A and B are shown apart, each in its own frame.
Chain A
Amino acid sequence: MSMMGTRVVRTEDHKLITVGGSYVDDLREPDLDGAVHAMFVRSPVAHARVTAIDSREAARAPGVVAVLTAADLDLDPPGGDHAEPWLAGDAVRYVGQPVALVLTERRYQLADAAELVDVDYDPLPAVIDLDDALAGTTLLFPGTDSNVAKTHGKPFDESAFDGCEVVVTRRIVNQRVAPAPLEVRGAACAWGADGRLTMWLSTQNPQLARDAIAGGLGLDPTAMRLIAPDVGGGFGAKIGADPDPVVLGWAARHVGRPVRWSETRSENLTAMTHGRGQQQTITIGGSRDGTVRAFGLDVVQDGGAYPRLGTTLLPGMTTLMATGTYRIPRVEAYSRSVLTTTTPTAAYRGAGRPEATAAIERAMDLFATEIGMDPAEVRRRNLIGPDEFPYQTPTGATYDTGEYAAALDRVLAAADYDGLRAEQTRRRAAGDPVVLGLGLASYVEITAGDAGGESGRMTVEPDGSVTAWTGSSPHGQGHATSFAMVLADQLGIPMERITVRHGDTDEVAKAVGTFGSRSLQLGGSAMRQAGDEVIEKARQLAAEAVEASVDDIELNTDDGAWQVRGAPSGAISWAQLAARAGDGALSADVWYSDAKPTFPFGAHLAVVEVDTGTGKVVLRRLIAVDDAGPVVNPLAFEGQRHGGLAQGAAQALLEEMTYDADGNPTTGTLADYEFISATELPDFELLDMATPTTLNPLGVKGIGEAATIGSTPAVQNAVVDALSHLGVRHVDMPAGPQRVWQAISDANRRV
């Protein structure tokens, strides 16, 4: 019987719950013996000219091995327009930008010495507000004529809304958030006697990181080995490598000793890239019968100080996915990425798509309220039907498969939507100070949107066990279990006998890695393809062994026995075949390149209570359909959904990275940043639905980000819905109590 779709307990867990993972800071590799400890001195100001750095006193502090600044670095500057320098040279552009590197003998000496590095900053005006940034009064990069670093789509054509009976427009914020994986960034590195650099890095993509770091150091990628040990979460912010490890690799060469680095959480919150950060103007037009005819999305993306993915790529995802699950004939989607004196923005779980979904889902509610129609009904009238796939959107996406209305109906039924509406009405009528709000989101997103390939390699060992290597290096998703399940199912070899390895560029030289919910569809498909190739090799060998025709040989996937069709006696085992094939011959090494994006979808319904006295919102229920096709391991699948739901709700209710007008972060420690905890979340109500795609051999779509995408607008819509009877039409995220109370007060004043 196939184990696909069964709840398989993860093979990763035993170590993690008994002796703990081996995260970078835990490594005790002999290669790191005698390592010096590293700490970056980071800019405490948002925007300034650096006029002098005096490290003499720091250099004399106990245990200091070196204090290094841009003046010491003999590396080529990083490529790309306005790229962040390895260490700040004559200017700093955000609080947290690395300015110097302190190396000490012991960990405890770092902060003592770093405090003594004396940097003179000649302040320049901070650029925080996006409108100010657009106006360009202060330019981040002298010599340019604008802070706009990139645009996506084409400028807005107002005529799109001509002839619409109803047009609603609103400016909304999709706020900047901190990815905040629980493990901060860290690295360790050592140069070998052979001149090769080995680096351990907390990264989602060892191979991309190797290429970036080797590039920065002027090395050929083969002169570097990069290992991702256990990684304590990434959520997009550990894609590839930041500039910091390049400096570490260089420093290790400079001082001739291994180097270890682990940032503090307070550093992490300002120095690791942030996510989201869009100001959106949404315009929706249609007729009073509920038909939406045109949608406009005008985005100003906060790129932060130096262009990263948040500037260059993600807003393009937002404009691509602008129309969501709806059949909307006219769409105007445009984005300008503007630089500000803040932490650069890059990917965070969903990366461009949550922003799109939040915009369209807010717009649908605004439209529904305007025409006085139930939001579920408005959605139903505009959803793309199951018979319309593949569906080509006006923005250029081709949705593969979907059952959007079915997903919506399922959450409505499971929630008892009508009953909840009745309860809402009852409370309002009774003047209950605690009001009820229902929020809906219908979403579709794009996974494996990078359209890159992925590697998969496997070999059947002489004892019949399997070693497999995936390029998809995980950080909590449980690939070792899921990919072993894929192979076990295919080969009939028990999971316990399958070892999935990843994360070491000397074992897997070419790969893309884990982001964009791509792992199972690409990495898993690569595994499957490798399995297929090995099966064909094995079939040949088996045919030779039993002297039968290849066409008559079959694999019994229940027990992994090769046999002549219909003649189980005389079957040959994998071990026998592997022995027969000789050392490592029963192997395959594939690059799965048939990678097309898929479009998972779903519907979420959030129920909130709002205390109108204080503005406090309590999330009571979160009901979700997240359809990503067939499920390999429901345990892992549900785990991904849970995590996504929590992070989505966190954005809606709690989390925001904020700066004051001078560019000082005001949520720069974990005491201030409202990272969601167990007490702010309900039990999640997950509903199953699985619509396969035809675009990969497993039929799967990505699940890593999906739930984040739906839950954010569902929760936000619920907050607005709770207050709609007061005349509230919108509350920006996060819907913290002060903001909600303000909305209530403003509404009361209007009445």
Chain B
Amino acid sequence: MIPATLSYRRASSVDEALGMLAEHGEDAKLLAGGHSLLPLMKLRLAAPEVVVDIGRIEELRYVRTEGDVVAIGAMTRHHDLHTDGVAGREVPLVAHVAGEVGDPQVRHRGTIGGSLAHGDPAADLPAAVLACDATLVARGPDGAREIPAAEFFAGLFTTALGPDEILTEIRVPRAADRGWGFEKFTRRRFDWSIVGVAVLGGSPTQPAVGLVNMGEAPIRATAVERALAAGATPAEAAEHAAEGTSPPDEPHASAGYRRHLATVLTARALERAAGGSPAGL
């Protein structure tokens, strides 16, 4: 299938893109890597009249350390993030998860910005970004603002971004000395997660646990985090992984099965995070 008729605009800077959004208003949709948007458009589940291509904005493709954080440009592609030396060293959880998204071709096109902005509860990177307590930077007509990851994901395919805003940067606290674990459960290796669990362990805070596909939006497993803080062992804490979640109920993966998976995978991710870090959990 092919997308409905559209008009294509390419922006070469964020300012230009903001201008195009302002010009076309509701009719326009940003196009980053296109690997969530184009599949929807091909099936005619989305039909924007104008697409504003921001995927080639060079100023949004970078990974660099800035003090305590690693700043990732929103148009950084999964593959580039996965293989980036700085990311691999300083924010290994995020770099690793970028390499678990889809298949190589998808990773050559899809971007972290697109992945987060899409607000898909089944996407992997949101859970990692949540677990890392990252900060998301958006630019709109009124300038830039910072949004904590915990406040970014609002619901099914909805985020804190306004229609006139562009996600420009993801600021991830450096965590080279912290253990981490990521468990992605799929039937075929390249499938979307049935359930996924991202854990960032160690000091300075308690381990943080992000869940993939356990609700309408990417979420933190707060019950697990609370239990750990209260002194539970990782195995005990993992039992709480499904608390407060509302996972999708589908024929090949019921909500009940997903709840079960969440506990098993959380236990494994916690274990891995403990093993991977000299400081332990």
Contacts and interface: CB of A to CB of B under 8 A. Distances in A.
A658 B265 CA distance: 27
Nearest to B268: A613
B252 A738 contact: yes
Interface string B241-271: 0000000000111100100110011001000
A111 interface: yes
A243 interface: no
Interface string A655-683: 00010100000100101001011011000
Contact of B187 (A266, A613, A654): A654
Contacts of B190: 677, 679
Contact of A741 (B5, B43, B187, B260): B260
Contacts of B62: none
A654 B257 CA distance: 17
B261 A614 contact: yes
Given A111-B44, A658-B251, A674 B264 contact: no
Contacts, number: 51
Interface in A65-115: 107-108, 111-112, 115
A111 B254 contact: no
Contacts of A737: 185, 187, 194
Given A613-B264, A680-B188, A738 B1 contact: no
Nearest to B192: A671
B24 interface: no
B238 to A, nearest CB: 11
B44 A738 contact: no
Contacts of A108: 2
B189 A679 contact: yes
B264 A680 contact: no
Contacts of A620: none
A616 B188 contact: no
A153 interface: no
A671 B5 CA distance: 24
B188 A677 contact: yes
Contacts of A677: 188-190
B46 interface: no
A666 B252 CA distance: 10
Interface in B187-215: 187-191, 194
A137 interface: no
A6 interface: no
A115 B47 CA distance: 13
A666 B251 contact: yes
Interface string B267-279: 0100000000000
A666 B249 CA distance: 13
Contacts of A264: 1
Contact of A738 (B188, B191, B257): B257
Given A674-B188, A737-B187, A112 B251 contact: no
B229 interface: no
A663 to B, nearest CB: 14
B4 interface: yes
B257 A741 contact: yes
Contacts of B43: 266, 669
Interface in A596-620: 613-614, 616
Interface residues of A, number: 26
Interface string A115-152: 10000000000000000000000000000000000000
Contact of A614 (B1, B185, B189, B252): B185
Given A108-B2, A112-B4, A614-B264, A738 B189 contact: no
Interface string A615-629: 010000000000000
Contacts of B4: 111-112
A736 interface: yes
B69 to A, nearest CB: 35
Interface string B149-187: 000000000000000000000000000000000000101
B90 to A, nearest CB: 29
Contacts of B39: 671
A679 B188 contact: yes
Interface in B70-120: none
Contacts of A111: 1-2, 4, 44
A434 B191 CA distance: 22
Contacts of A738: 252-254, 257
A213 to B, nearest CB: 27
Contacts of B253: 738
Contacts of B189: 677, 679-680
Contacts of B264: 613-614
Nearest to A39: B1
A112 B5 CA distance: 9
Contacts of B191: 674
Nearest to B195: A614
Contacts of B44: 111, 115
Which residue among A115, A669, A679 has the maximum number of chain B CB atoms within 10 Å of its CB? Answer: A679
Contacts of A107: 2
Contact of A736 (B2, B5, B252): B252
A654 B252 contact: no
B123 to A, nearest CB: 14
A736 B187 contact: yes
A616 B261 CA distance: 11
Nearest to A739: B252
Contacts of A736: 187, 252
A669 B1 CA distance: 12
A223 B261 CA distance: 62
A676 B1 CA distance: 23
A202 B8 CA distance: 36
A736 B187 CA distance: 7
Contacts of A742: 257
A742 to B, nearest CB: 8
A264 B2 CA distance: 10
Contacts of A654: 187-188
16 contacts: A264-B1, A266-B43, A613-B264, A613-B268, A614-B185, A616-B187, A654-B187, A674-B187, A674-B191, A676-B188, A679-B189, A680-B188, A736-B187, A736-B252, A738-B253, A738-B254
Closest 3 CB pairs between A and B?
A679-B189, A613-B264, A738-B257
Given A614-B265, A616-B185, 14 more contacts: A107-B2, A108-B2, A111-B4, A111-B44, A112-B5, A266-B1, A614-B185, A614-B261, A614-B264, A616-B187, A658-B251, A674-B188, A677-B190, A680-B188
Interface of B: 1-2, 4-5, 39, 43-44, 185, 187-191, 194, 251-254, 257, 260-261, 264-265, 268
